Protein backbone atom coordinates (compact mmCIF):
# COMPACT_ATOMS: atom_id res chain seq x y z
CA UNK A 1 0.00 0.00 0.00
CA UNK A 2 1.32 3.45 -0.83
CA UNK A 3 1.34 6.46 1.44
CA UNK A 4 -1.95 8.33 1.55
CA UNK A 5 -1.37 12.08 1.59
CA UNK A 6 1.44 14.50 2.19
CA UNK A 7 -0.33 15.62 5.37
CA UNK A 8 -0.51 12.24 7.07
CA UNK A 9 2.08 10.28 5.13
CA UNK A 10 0.66 7.14 6.74
CA UNK A 11 -0.08 3.88 4.96
CA UNK A 12 -2.45 1.29 6.30
CA UNK A 13 -1.19 -1.42 8.64
CA UNK A 14 -2.49 -4.94 9.09
CA UNK A 15 -1.91 -7.95 11.33
CA UNK A 16 -0.35 -10.92 9.53
CA UNK A 17 -0.61 -14.33 11.14
CA UNK A 18 2.55 -16.44 10.83
CA UNK A 19 2.28 -20.12 9.93
CA UNK A 20 5.47 -22.17 10.35
CA UNK A 21 8.22 -20.97 8.01
CA UNK A 22 6.43 -17.77 7.00
CA UNK A 23 8.01 -14.32 6.79
CA UNK A 24 6.77 -10.81 7.52
CA UNK A 25 8.87 -7.72 6.97
CA UNK A 26 9.50 -4.05 7.44
CA UNK A 27 11.34 -1.91 4.96
CA UNK A 28 14.63 -2.63 6.75
CA UNK A 29 14.04 -6.05 8.37
CA UNK A 30 12.57 -9.54 7.93
CA UNK A 31 11.09 -11.82 10.60
CA UNK A 32 10.81 -15.57 9.95
CA UNK A 33 8.64 -17.74 12.21
CA UNK A 34 10.07 -21.21 12.94
CA UNK A 35 8.32 -24.24 14.41
CA UNK A 36 9.15 -27.94 14.70
CA UNK A 37 12.38 -29.90 14.74
CA UNK A 38 13.36 -29.66 11.05
CA UNK A 39 16.57 -27.65 10.53
CA UNK A 40 16.24 -24.13 9.14
CA UNK A 41 19.02 -22.55 7.10
CA UNK A 42 19.43 -18.80 6.78
CA UNK A 43 21.96 -16.39 5.27
CA UNK A 44 22.43 -12.74 6.12
CA UNK A 45 24.89 -9.99 5.25
CA UNK A 46 24.60 -8.70 8.82
CA UNK A 47 24.15 -10.25 12.25
CA UNK A 48 20.83 -11.94 12.96
CA UNK A 49 18.80 -12.41 16.13
CA UNK A 50 17.37 -15.78 17.12
CA UNK A 51 14.54 -15.47 19.66
CA UNK A 52 13.80 -18.59 21.72
CA UNK A 53 10.74 -17.94 23.95
CA UNK A 54 10.44 -21.47 25.38
CA UNK A 55 12.63 -24.40 24.30
CA UNK A 56 16.24 -24.41 23.20
CA UNK A 57 18.02 -25.01 19.90
CA UNK A 58 21.25 -26.20 18.33
CA UNK A 59 22.87 -23.51 16.19
CA UNK A 60 25.60 -23.98 13.56
CA UNK A 61 27.44 -20.84 12.44
CA UNK A 62 30.61 -21.46 10.47
CA UNK A 63 32.77 -23.85 12.48
CA UNK A 64 30.91 -23.11 15.70
CA UNK A 65 28.13 -25.32 17.08
CA UNK A 66 26.19 -24.24 20.18
CA UNK A 67 23.40 -25.82 22.19
CA UNK A 68 21.40 -22.78 23.22
CA UNK A 69 18.94 -22.82 26.14
CA UNK A 70 15.35 -21.72 25.89
CA UNK A 71 14.24 -18.26 27.00
CA UNK A 72 17.22 -16.68 25.34
CA UNK A 73 18.14 -14.15 22.67
CA UNK A 74 21.05 -15.12 20.43
CA UNK A 75 23.13 -12.84 18.22
CA UNK A 76 24.25 -14.88 15.20
CA UNK A 77 27.21 -13.76 13.09
CA UNK A 78 26.79 -12.65 9.49
CA UNK A 79 26.92 -15.46 6.93
CA UNK A 80 25.11 -18.78 6.80
CA UNK A 81 23.62 -20.45 9.87
CA UNK A 82 21.54 -23.52 10.61
CA UNK A 83 19.03 -23.64 13.45
CA UNK A 84 17.46 -26.85 14.76
CA UNK A 85 14.90 -26.38 17.51
CA UNK A 86 14.70 -28.83 20.37
CA UNK A 87 11.59 -30.95 19.93
CA UNK A 88 8.40 -29.24 18.80
CA UNK A 89 9.79 -25.84 19.60
CA UNK A 90 9.13 -22.41 18.16
CA UNK A 91 11.33 -19.41 17.52
CA UNK A 92 11.77 -16.30 15.40
CA UNK A 93 14.74 -15.30 13.26
CA UNK A 94 15.15 -11.54 12.76
CA UNK A 95 17.50 -10.00 10.20
CA UNK A 96 18.01 -6.79 8.28
CA UNK A 97 19.36 -8.69 5.27
CA UNK A 98 18.14 -12.09 4.01
CA UNK A 99 19.36 -12.54 0.42
CA UNK A 100 18.47 -16.25 0.66
CA UNK A 101 14.74 -15.52 0.85
CA UNK A 102 12.75 -15.74 -2.38
CA UNK A 103 11.62 -12.36 -3.74
CA UNK A 104 8.14 -11.44 -2.57
CA UNK A 105 7.97 -14.17 0.07
CA UNK A 106 6.89 -11.83 2.89
CA UNK A 107 3.20 -11.93 3.74
CA UNK A 108 3.07 -8.13 3.67
CA UNK A 109 5.29 -7.68 0.59
CA UNK A 110 2.70 -5.50 -1.15
CA UNK A 111 3.29 -2.75 1.43
CA UNK A 112 6.82 -2.23 0.10
CA UNK A 113 6.24 -1.84 -3.63
CA UNK A 114 7.17 1.82 -3.13
CA UNK A 115 9.91 2.44 -0.51
CA UNK A 116 9.15 4.99 2.19
CA UNK A 117 11.71 7.77 1.78
CA UNK A 118 11.09 9.03 5.33
CA UNK A 119 12.68 5.98 6.94
CA UNK A 120 16.22 6.09 8.24
CA UNK A 121 18.45 3.69 6.25
CA UNK A 122 20.08 0.71 7.96
CA UNK A 123 23.62 2.04 7.48
CA UNK A 124 26.69 0.71 9.29
CA UNK A 125 26.68 2.78 12.47
CA UNK A 126 27.56 -0.11 14.80
CA UNK A 127 30.10 -2.93 14.74
CA UNK A 128 30.82 -5.71 17.21
CA UNK A 129 33.89 -4.98 19.31
CA UNK A 130 36.81 -7.22 18.42
CA UNK A 131 37.68 -9.90 20.99
CA UNK A 132 40.85 -8.95 22.85
CA UNK A 133 42.30 -12.47 22.81
CA UNK A 134 41.43 -13.70 19.34
CA UNK A 135 41.26 -12.52 15.76
CA UNK A 136 38.40 -14.92 15.00
CA UNK A 137 35.15 -13.46 13.63
CA UNK A 138 32.36 -12.69 16.10
CA UNK A 139 30.88 -15.83 17.65
CA UNK A 140 27.35 -16.74 18.63
CA UNK A 141 26.34 -14.57 21.59
CA UNK A 142 23.73 -16.05 23.94
CA UNK A 143 21.78 -13.88 26.39
CA UNK A 144 19.37 -15.54 28.81
CA UNK A 145 16.35 -13.29 29.14
CA UNK A 146 15.62 -14.06 32.79
CA UNK A 147 19.09 -12.81 33.83
CA UNK A 148 18.53 -9.38 32.26
CA UNK A 149 17.42 -6.63 34.63
CA UNK A 150 15.30 -3.87 33.06
CA UNK A 151 16.05 -0.22 33.83
CA UNK A 152 14.68 0.78 37.23
CA UNK A 153 12.24 3.25 35.69
CA UNK A 154 11.34 1.04 32.69
CA UNK A 155 10.20 -2.32 34.09
CA UNK A 156 8.78 -3.48 30.74
CA UNK A 157 12.03 -2.85 28.85
CA UNK A 158 14.45 -5.68 28.01
CA UNK A 159 16.31 -4.47 24.95
CA UNK A 160 18.98 -6.14 22.81
CA UNK A 161 20.85 -5.12 19.67
CA UNK A 162 22.98 -6.34 16.78
CA UNK A 163 24.98 -4.25 14.33
CA UNK A 164 21.77 -3.38 12.43
CA UNK A 165 18.82 -4.24 14.73
CA UNK A 166 17.24 -3.47 18.09
CA UNK A 167 14.48 -5.45 19.79
CA UNK A 168 12.49 -5.03 22.97
CA UNK A 169 11.28 -8.20 24.75
CA UNK A 170 7.99 -7.28 26.48
CA UNK A 171 6.54 -10.04 28.67
CA UNK A 172 3.87 -10.07 31.36
CA UNK A 173 1.10 -12.19 32.86
CA UNK A 174 -2.58 -11.41 32.46
CA UNK A 175 -4.10 -8.43 30.68
CA UNK A 176 -2.22 -5.17 30.40
CA UNK A 177 -3.45 -2.36 32.62
CA UNK A 178 -5.69 -0.32 30.30
CA UNK A 179 -5.02 2.81 32.34
CA UNK A 180 -1.27 2.55 31.60
CA UNK A 181 -1.07 2.26 27.81
CA UNK A 182 1.60 4.18 25.89
CA UNK A 183 0.40 5.62 22.57
CA UNK A 184 3.27 7.14 20.55
CA UNK A 185 4.62 7.41 17.04
CA UNK A 186 7.96 7.51 15.24
CA UNK A 187 9.02 10.11 12.68
CA UNK A 188 11.65 8.19 10.74
CA UNK A 189 11.42 4.46 11.42
CA UNK A 190 8.95 1.61 11.49
CA UNK A 191 8.16 -0.67 14.41
CA UNK A 192 7.54 -4.34 13.90
CA UNK A 193 5.49 -5.89 16.71
CA UNK A 194 5.81 -9.68 16.82
CA UNK A 195 3.25 -11.48 19.00
CA UNK A 196 4.92 -14.66 20.29
CA UNK A 197 2.55 -15.64 23.12
CA UNK A 198 -0.91 -14.48 24.12
CA UNK A 199 -3.57 -12.34 22.45
CA UNK A 200 -3.22 -8.63 21.77
CA UNK A 201 -5.06 -5.64 20.40
CA UNK A 202 -3.05 -3.10 18.42
CA UNK A 203 -4.62 0.36 18.79
CA UNK A 204 -3.84 2.64 15.81
CA UNK A 205 -4.62 6.31 15.24
CA UNK A 206 -3.81 8.65 12.36
CA UNK A 207 -3.08 12.21 13.45
CA UNK A 208 -5.61 14.62 12.01
CA UNK A 209 -4.50 17.06 9.31
CA UNK A 210 -6.25 20.20 8.24
CA UNK A 211 -8.43 18.44 5.67
CA UNK A 212 -11.23 16.67 7.52
CA UNK A 213 -12.09 14.63 4.41
CA UNK A 214 -8.82 12.77 4.97
CA UNK A 215 -9.39 11.90 8.64
CA UNK A 216 -9.60 8.24 9.57
CA UNK A 217 -11.30 6.35 12.35
CA UNK A 218 -9.15 4.69 14.97
CA UNK A 219 -8.42 1.00 14.43
CA UNK A 220 -8.30 -1.75 17.05
CA UNK A 221 -6.79 -4.84 15.43
CA UNK A 222 -6.86 -8.24 17.10
CA UNK A 223 -3.47 -9.97 17.01
CA UNK A 224 -3.21 -13.65 18.00
CA UNK A 225 0.12 -15.40 18.42
CA UNK A 226 2.10 -15.85 16.30
CA UNK A 227 1.50 -12.75 14.21
CA UNK A 228 3.20 -9.50 13.25
CA UNK A 229 2.20 -5.96 12.41
CA UNK A 230 4.60 -3.39 11.01
CA UNK A 231 3.63 0.10 12.17
CA UNK A 232 4.54 2.83 9.67
CA UNK A 233 6.22 6.12 10.53
CA UNK A 234 3.87 8.74 12.04
CA UNK A 235 1.10 6.27 12.90
CA UNK A 236 0.14 6.56 16.57
CA UNK A 237 0.14 3.11 18.17
CA UNK A 238 0.03 1.15 21.39
CA UNK A 239 -0.55 -2.53 22.10
CA UNK A 240 -2.70 -4.11 24.79
CA UNK A 241 -2.36 -7.70 25.94
CA UNK A 242 -5.86 -9.04 26.55
CA UNK A 243 -7.14 -12.06 28.42
CA UNK A 244 -5.44 -14.33 30.95
CA UNK A 245 -2.08 -16.03 30.73
CA UNK A 246 1.31 -15.14 29.34
CA UNK A 247 1.85 -12.30 26.89
CA UNK A 248 5.10 -11.94 24.92
CA UNK A 249 5.50 -9.17 22.35
CA UNK A 250 8.76 -8.38 20.56
CA UNK A 251 9.26 -4.88 19.15
CA UNK A 252 11.66 -4.83 16.18
CA UNK A 253 13.60 -1.83 14.88
CA UNK A 254 16.22 -1.33 12.17
CA UNK A 255 18.58 0.51 12.30
CA UNK A 256 19.32 0.18 16.05
CA UNK A 257 17.61 2.64 18.39
CA UNK A 258 20.35 5.21 19.06
CA UNK A 259 18.20 6.93 21.66
CA UNK A 260 17.72 3.82 23.80
CA UNK A 261 21.37 2.79 23.43
CA UNK A 262 22.55 6.23 24.52
CA UNK A 263 20.31 6.03 27.62
CA UNK A 264 21.91 2.74 28.68
CA UNK A 265 18.73 0.74 28.17
CA UNK A 266 20.16 -1.92 25.80
CA UNK A 267 21.48 -4.97 27.63
CA UNK A 268 24.34 -5.85 25.27
CA UNK A 269 25.23 -2.37 24.01
CA UNK A 270 28.70 -2.78 25.50
CA UNK A 271 29.44 -5.41 22.85
CA UNK A 272 29.29 -2.74 20.15
CA UNK A 273 31.13 0.40 19.20
CA UNK A 274 29.51 3.19 17.29
CA UNK A 275 31.33 4.31 14.18
CA UNK A 276 32.09 7.97 13.82
CA UNK A 277 29.86 9.86 11.43
CA UNK A 278 31.33 10.42 7.96
pLDDT tens-digit readout, 75-124: 999 999 999 999 878 999 999 999 999 999 999 999 999 999 999 999 99
pLDDT value at 68 more than 60 = yes
Q: Which of 239, 224, 107, 236 is nearest to 168 (CA)?
A: 239
Overall average pLDDT of the 129-138 stretch: 64
Tell me what pLDDT residue 138 has: 65
Instruction: Give pLDDT tens digits for 207-231.
Output: 888 889 888 999 999 999 999 999 9
CA distance 207 to 209: 7
CA distance 200 to 53: 17
Of residues 153 and 107, more confidently modeled? 107
Tell me what pLDDT residue 175 has: 97
Query: What are the boundaries of each domain within the chain?
Result: 17-97+139-272
Instruction: Give pLDDT tens digits for 136-146.
Output: 656 899 999 99
pLDDT value at 265 more than 60 = yes
Parallel, antiparallel, or unpaired for β 191-197 and 246-253?
antiparallel
Burial class (CB in 10 A: 0-12, 13-18, 19+), 173: exposed
17-97+139-272 homologous superfamily = Jelly Rolls (2.60.120.10)
pTM for the complete prediction?
0.93
For the chain, give the percent of residues with pLDDT over 70. Answer: 92
SS3 179: helix
Is the distance from CB of 144 to CB of 74 less than 8 angstroms? no
Overall average pLDDT of the 162-191 stretch: 96
Is the distance from CB of 148 to CB of 267 less than 8 angstroms? yes
H or E element in which residue 84 lies: strand 79-85
Q: Tell me the pLDDT band of 4, cut-offs 50, 70 and 90.
A: very low
Q: Tell me the pLDDT band of 152, cut-offs 50, 70 and 90.
A: confident
Amino acid sequence: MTNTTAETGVRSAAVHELPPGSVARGQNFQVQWIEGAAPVEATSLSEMLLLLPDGGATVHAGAEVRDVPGRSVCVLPAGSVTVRLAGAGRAALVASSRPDLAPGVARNEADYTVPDARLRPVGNDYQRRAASTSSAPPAIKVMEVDTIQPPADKPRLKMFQTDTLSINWVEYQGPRDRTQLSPHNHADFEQGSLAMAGDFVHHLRVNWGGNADQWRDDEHLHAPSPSMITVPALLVHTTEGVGPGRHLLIDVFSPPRHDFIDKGWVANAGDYERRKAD
